[in-house]
């Protein structure tokens, strides 16, 4: 556009120059010879051509001025658009960089969570395998006892060994009987080989009130029975005390209706609850 404007300007200036020169010489175009003016067709044609060129030069100059004005306006618009586009592009690049950064962080977080999930699944599979193996080992060790004396079930990720009061204790007493010691020794032999298991001893009773010189109520009796089982396991069968917990539940966690003799007999029990150690699992959960 600059080249076009310059060419038009140069052409217009040239024509204007010719017009001025022609107009100046026009003053001397009439020659007085013997008091008469000489006019010819060629001279009139030249004057007409001169006037046409002058008008054209003026038109060209007006066009040049308009084109220059349009050019300046377009240049201003271009500069503003370039600036705006540059700002928008810069903003867009900034947003893209932020999105890429966020995506990278989310990808890293996702990969970390997937790794933790794989670890968790591995731990859970290990615990399931441990529980199944433990359940089978305990069943095999206590195979000589009847269902009325003890039961072994696996539920909620734990193994429950439930021993009746007839197997372990005399009525209203917390001293472990000989046959009960035999069962506890066989159980201890298995548990001493499975050190990844925590052991909770829970004493339970029926709802018949008791009050003796030693025990104030069923809660007191159930706690004493659980404690005596723990002492037997640690003192005589060499189990690690850190793995053991004793708790008296009294009559408040029945497994059967206390309205029948059969139900009461099921509720008078000592439960040995075996559960895998959860240290690794808790680390993953709390991470």
In whole angstroms, what is the distance from residue 164 CA to residue 148 CA? 7
Domain 127-286: give its CATH code: 3.30.1330.60
Q: What confidence score (pLDDT) does residue 128 get?
A: 86
Q: Strands (DSSP E) along 115-237, which ranges? A: 150-155, 158-164, 197-204
Q: pLDDT (tens digit, 9 = 90+) per residue, 214-258?
A: 999 999 999 999 999 999 999 999 999 999 999 999 999 999 999
CA distance 268 to 15: 127
CA 265 – CA 81 distance, rounded (Å): 92
Per-domain boundaries in the chain? 2-23+40-84, 127-286
pTM of the shown model: 0.63
At residue 35, φ and ψ (nearest 5 deg) are: 75, 10
Task: Quote the pLDDT of residue 10.
Answer: 54
Please, which residues have CB within 8 angstroms of residue 211's CB and are 6 or more apart in sequence? 217
Report residue 164 as tokens. Answer: 């009746």
Count of beta carbons in the 10 Å neighbourhood of residue 142:
20
Confidence (pLDDT) at 24: 45
Under DSSP, the state recorded for 241 is G
The angle at the Cα of 249, spanning 222 to 198, to the nearest 5 degrees, equals: 95
Collapsed DSSP state (helix, strand, coil) of residue 202: strand
The full DSSP string for 32-63 is EETTEE---HHHHHHHHHHHHHHHHHHHHHHH
Tokens of 167: 């197997």
Cα(269)–Cα(222) distance, integer angstroms: 9
DSSP state at residue 100: H
Q: What is the C-alpha separation between 124 and 118, in angstroms, rounded?
A: 10
The closest alpha carbon to 141, from 167, 133, 245, 130, belongs to 133
pLDDT digits (tens, 9 = 90+) for 15-25: 455 554 544 44
Question: Can you count the helices (H) and strands (E) in the chain?
Answer: 7, 7
- Would you write out the chain's pLDDT as a tens digit for each of its 287 residues? 544 445 545 555 554 555 545 444 444 444 444 444 545 777 777 778 788 888 887 887 887 888 888 888 888 888 888 888 888 888 888 888 888 888 888 888 888 888 888 887 887 788 888 889 999 999 999 999 999 999 999 998 899 999 999 999 999 999 999 999 999 999 999 999 998 899 999 999 999 999 899 999 999 999 999 999 999 999 999 999 999 999 999 999 999 999 999 999 999 999 999 998 876 555 555 55
């Amino acid at each position: 556009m600059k080249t076009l404007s310059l060419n038009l300007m140069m052409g217009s200036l040239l024509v204007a120059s010719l017009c001025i020169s022609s107009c100046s010489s026009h003053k001397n175009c009439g020659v007085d010879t013997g008091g008469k003016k000489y006019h010819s067709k060629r001279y009139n044609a030249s004057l007409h051509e001169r006037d046409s060129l002058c008008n054209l030069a003026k038109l060209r100059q007006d066009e040049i001025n308009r084109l220059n004005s349009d050019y300046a306006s377009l240049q201003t618009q271009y500069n503003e658009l370039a600036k705006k586009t540059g700002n928008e592009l810069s903003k867009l690049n900034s947003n893209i960089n932020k999105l890429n950064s966020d995506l990278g962080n989310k990808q890293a977080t996702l990969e970390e969570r997937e790794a933790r999930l794989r670890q968790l699944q591995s731990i859970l599979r290990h615990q399931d395998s441990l529980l199944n193996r433990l359940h089978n080992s305990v069943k095999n060790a206590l195979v000589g006892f009847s269902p009325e004396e003890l039961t072994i079930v696996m539920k909620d990720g734990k193994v429950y060994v439930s021993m009746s009061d007839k197997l372990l204790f005399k009525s209203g007493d917390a001293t472990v009987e000989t046959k009960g010691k035999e069962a506890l020794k066989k159980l201890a032999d298995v548990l001493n080989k499975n050190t990844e298991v925590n052991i909770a001893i829970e004493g339970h009773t029926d709802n018949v009130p008791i009050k003796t010189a030693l025990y104030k109520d069923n809660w007191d009796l159930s706690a004493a029975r659980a404690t005596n089982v723990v002492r037997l396991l640690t003192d005589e069968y060499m189990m690690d005390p850190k793995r053991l917990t004793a708790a008296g539940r009294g009559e408040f966690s029945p497994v059967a209706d206390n309205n029948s003799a059969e139900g009461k007999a099921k509720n008078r029990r000592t439960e040995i609850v075996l559960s895998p150690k959860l240290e690794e699992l808790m680390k993953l959960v709390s991470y």
